[in-house]
C-alpha cells in the first residue's frame, strides 16, 4: 500500500448509503472539495459483489466521472465475465 502524502488527503463531508430493495447497495463518500467516491454492490447473489467503483466531481452540480476503479461487465445471460 502506498503512503499518502498529507497534501493528497481529503476531508470527508458526509457519508450516504442506500439500498433499492431490489438487490443493490449504494455507498457514497462526499468530500468537502466537491468530489465523491461511489461504490455500487449487487446483494442478490450468494455474496455482496462489487459492480461499479468510481471517483467523480460533483462541484458543478452535475456528476463528472474522474476515474473508474472497477466495472463488472455482464454477458447476455446476466453473469459476470
How far apart CA 13 and CA 35 sit, in angstroms, is 10
Residue tagged 498529507 (cell numbers) = 6
- On the question of pLDDT at 78 being above 60, the answer is no
Per-residue pLDDT of 4-20, as tens digits, reads 677 778 899 999 999 98
pLDDT tens profile 23-62 = 899 999 999 999 999 999 998 767 888 999 999 999 998 9
Percent of the chain with pLDDT over 90: 52
Residue 1 has pLDDT above 70, yes or no: no
Instruction: Please report which confidence band the pLDDT of residue 76 belongs to, taking 50, 70 and 90 as the band edges.
Output: low
* DSSP string of 10-62, one letter each residue: --EEEEEEEE-SSSEEEEEEEETTSEEEEEEEE-SSSS-EEEEEEEEE-TTSS
User: Which H/E stretch holds residue 69?
Assistant: strand 64-71
**Own/partner long-range contacts of 28-34 (Cβ < 8 Å, ≥24 apart):** 30/58, 33/59, 34/58, 34/59, 34/60
Amino acid at each position: 500500500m502506498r503512503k499518502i502524502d498529507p497534501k493528497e488527503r481529503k476531508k470527508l463531508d458526509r457519508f450516504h448509503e442506500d439500498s433499492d430493495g431490489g438487490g443493490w447497495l449504494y455507498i457514497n463518500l462526499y468530500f468537502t472539495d466537491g468530489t465523491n467516491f461511489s461504490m455500487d454492490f449487487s446483494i442478490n447473489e450468494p455474496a455482496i459483489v462489487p459492480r461499479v467503483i468510481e471517483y467523480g466531481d460533483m462541484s458543478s452540480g452535475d456528476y463528472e466521472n474522474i476515474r473508474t476503479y472497477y466495472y463488472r461487465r455482464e454477458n447476455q445471460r446476466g453473469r459476470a465475465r
